[in-house]
Amino acid sequence: MSNSIFKDKYHAAFHTMPGAIVFVNPATFEIEEVNAQVTQLTGYSADELVKEGLGLIDSNSKVRQLLERTLKEKKQQILEFDLLTKKKESMPVSMRVDFIEMEHHQHLVLVLQDMTKVRKMEEMVQKTVDQKTQDLKLALETLQKSNQLKSDFVAMVSHEIRNPLTILKSTLALLESSKLAAKKREEVLHMMMRHIDQMIDISNDLLDVSKIEAGVMQYHLEKLSLYKLLCSVMHHFHSFEEQCGIKLCVECPKDYFIYADELKTKQILDNLVSNAFKATSLGGKIILSARSSDNNFMEILVSDTGCGIEKDQMQHLFKRFVRLQGAGAHTKGTGLGLSIVKSLVEAQGGKIWAESEVGKGTIFRFTLPATAVPVVVLMDEDVEFCEKVSKLLEEEGYRVKQCHSAFRGIEQCQEMKPHVVVLDLKLSDLSGEKVVDRLKEMPLMKDLPFVFLTSQKVEKSDEKTKGIPVVYKSKWEYELLSILKKQLRMQVQREIKPGGSV
Amino acid sequence: MKKILLIDDEKDLVETIQVLLEAKGYTVISAHDGLAGLEKAKKENPDLILLDVMMPNLNGYQVCRELKKDPNFKNTPIVMLTAKAQESDHFWGIESGADDYVTKPFDSLSLLETIKNNLK
């Protein structure tokens, strides 16, 4: 190969290769030659660079120092630095320097690479890592906190149970050993009864919490007269009224009804009213009232003229295991009451909140449905179809929860406790029949009615669809509503007791 | 007649133990929280103190530590009534200077036994 052809080839390669290359004279450190990429990178022309020298792009002599080191050590050096472009912009670059000998000439070869994108990527990664680290720290803190709460809870339960047990044991010894006067004996028996009741309360709370956690709390919804319900709660506390010198009254129109579980709703009210009694002092007043709120809900209020709750305590009010500090603090109790109340209200579709002013009193408010709003869980992978069905059902007064997979659907059923489930026969993570089997295994869901959806022809075989009605997607608008009504009527009948009110 | 000070915030328990101990010939005085207990101890100079742990206004350990600092109580036995059966409670009891402990729920015989032993 002739020398000139070789030079041409070299020249072409030098200017077209993607790396930015600078040749430097090792004796003088003058720039001998640069390729087009260097011009592009720095903004300086080849002439400018050759004429002005390295100083143009090497303001603090870092490059110069590296070149000297390359010569001294006779081996490749790498440096990352900020290059100043002609536009006076700082650009992060990585530079590799090699010492080479060609045709008895010595050269320093500098290969520059723009690191802007890499740096940006690094920064982004760093930011993501920082964020995730922060998240993890937070999660860890939350876990540690909840762990601490649980240990405190165990200590507290052990204290709350051991104390009445101690009293029972000592009182038994008292009854056994000494000749007690009849009156004293009666007093001791009363004391024992009180502490046994206290232990029953604690074990009931613990049982409720474990039922709520396991998702097996059962609700029997029926139409209840709110007036009668509030009155029965008032009567329940009648003896307290006299004992504590507190007036308890009901303000509620007689034609207000709710659609809820009677026992659970009484439990909610019992808890709130007994809290109100604890917080209110002699001569105070507790009012049970109701008002009709929007969206077919009734709002029930328990207001007292008690000591009130400190502002900073309000956010912890409904948290599990937390007992109030400061004003309104009671030494008795498991710290579970209000968290149970919250679960009971929310499981029936309501909300609960409180307002309080220290020294003036507290109002607990909660809502419960005034009419039966049937809840439908809809499982279908076709998002568009789900939207269409939801829209129609919601117009007809149903509450619909869409789920686009079987597993999500099963999860939602446990959470929402629906009145009916509408599901596709062929969900890809689990077939419709398997979903039904899975749900029927759960005690709460064993009577749940279902409706299958399908886009394919199903052989009329009860074996396959277990007697569950099938709606074809091609004509669902005509069939679904009437089948739903039929399925729901069966269930509503099962739930409402004869004569069904308080 | 030996005088026993019982400090516990559970009034029913105080009443029951009081009747039990009085039947055995002890004089019993009581207080329902830590601070009141401390004051009563200094005023009444009991022969033995029964001290609950979880109480409002100074817990049992705090009361015990305060009392043991006072030379007048150096030889007064203090028996802790712990509601928790955890090792750490016994550790803290001894650390704060308690002479003995009884774990709730205790039976009257073992309480009486512990009192007798510590009064020797």
The structural domains of chain B, with segments of one domain joined by +, span 3-118
Q: Give the pLDDT confidence of A207-257 residue by residue, as tens digits.
A: 888 888 776 777 887 889 999 999 999 998 988 888 888 999 999 999 899
In this complex, is the C-beta atom of B105 within 8 Å of any C-beta atom belonging to chain A? yes
Hey, are the CB atoms on A170 and B23 less than 8 Å from each other? no
Nearest to B107 among A159, A163, A173 (CB): A173
Q: In terms of pLDDT, which residue wins out, A479 or B3? A: B3
Q: Which residues of A touch B111 (CB under 8 A)?
A: 170
Q: Is B87 on the interface with A (CB under 8 A)?
A: no
Report the mean per-residue pLDDT for chain A.
84
Say how far apart CA A275 and CA A364 lie, in whole Å.
10
Question: Does the pLDDT of residue A492 top 50, yes or no?
Answer: no
B116 touches chain A (CB under 8 A): no
Q: Cα-atom radius of gyration of chain A, to the nearest Å?
A: 39
Q: Residue A225 half-sphere exposure, CB side, CA atoms within 13 Å? A: 12
Chain B contact present for A285, CB below 8 A: no
Contact by Cβ (8 Å): A16, A60: no
Question: CA A34, CA A54: separation in Å to the nearest integer?
Answer: 11
Residues in CB range of A153: below 8 A, 6 or more apart: A321, A334, A335
More confident residue, A460 or A247: A247
Angle at A203 between CA A198 and CA A208, to 5 degrees: 125
Taking an 8 Å cut-off on Cβ atoms, the answer to whether A174 and B13 are in contact is no
Sign of the Cα torsion A152, A154, A155, A160 reads: positive
What pLDDT is attached to residue A368?
A: 92
Distance CA A459, CA A479 (A): 18
Q: Which pair of tokens denotes residue A257?
A: 């009804």
Q: Is A459 within 8 Å of A430 (Cβ atoms)?
A: no
- Over the stretch B1-16, which tens digit does the pLDDT of each residue have? 899 999 998 888 898 8
Containing H/E element for A422?
A: strand A420-424
On the question of pLDDT at A327 being above 60, the answer is no
Phi, psi of B8 (to 5 degrees): -155, 140
The minimum CA-CA distance between B72 and chain A, rounded to whole Å, is: 31
Residue at token pair 């890809």: A428
Question: Looking at beta carbons, which residues of chain B come within 8 Å of A155?
Answer: 84
Count of other CB atoms within 10 angstroms of residue B78: 26
Residues A95-108: what's their mean pLDDT?
86
Residue B91: pLDDT over 70: no
Q: Which chain B residue has its CA at the smallest distance from A152's CA? A: B84
- Among the partner residues B9, B20, B84, nearest to A174 by beta-carbon distance: B20
| Check whether domain B3-118 has CATH 3.40.50.720, yes or no | no
Q: Is the pLDDT of residue A380 over 70?
A: yes
pLDDT category at A153 given cuts 50, 70, 90 is confident
C-alpha dihedral sign at A206, A408, A318, A274: negative
Work out the pLDDT band at B48, boundaries 50, 70, 90.
very high
Are B19 and A194 inside 8 Å of each other by CB?
Answer: no
Nearest to A256 by CA among A287, A293, A286, A219: A293
Q: Residues A293-322: what's their mean pLDDT?
A: 84
Q: For chain B, how big is the Rg over CA atoms in Å?
A: 13
State the Cα–Cα distance between residues A329 and A321, nearest whole angstrom: 14
- Residue A499: per-residue pLDDT: 38
Positive or negative: CA dihedral B8, B9, B15, B17: negative
Question: How far is C-alpha A266 from the geometric centre of its chain's CA atoms?
Answer: 29
CB neighbourhood size of A493 (10 A): 8
Q: 């760093």: which residue's tokens?
A: A126
**B77-96 average pLDDT score:** 72
What is the structure's pLDDT at A234?
93
Q: Is residue A410 within 8 Å of A452, Cβ to Cβ?
A: no
Q: Percentage of residues in chain A with pLDDT exceeding 90?
A: 21
B10 contact residues in A (CB cutoff 8 A): 163, 166-167
How confident is residue A125, by pLDDT bands cut at 50, 70 and 90? very high
Interface with B, mutate which of A152, A166, A172, A188 (most B CBs under 10 A):
A166
Question: Is the Cβ–Cβ distance between A428 and A434 less than 8 Å?
Answer: no
* A151 at B interface, C-beta within 8 A: no
Weakest mean pLDDT among A92-101, A309-318, A338-347, A462-471: A462-471
B20 contact residues in A (CB cutoff 8 A): 170, 173-174, 177-178
One-letter amino acid at A199 equals M
| Cβ contact, residue pair A162, B83, below 8 Å | yes
Mutate which: B8, B28, B32, B104, vs A, most A CBs within 10 A: B104
Residue A191 in tokens: 């004391």
Q: What is the mean pLDDT of chain B?
A: 87
Which chain B positions have a beta carbon within 8 Å of A169's beta carbon? 105-108
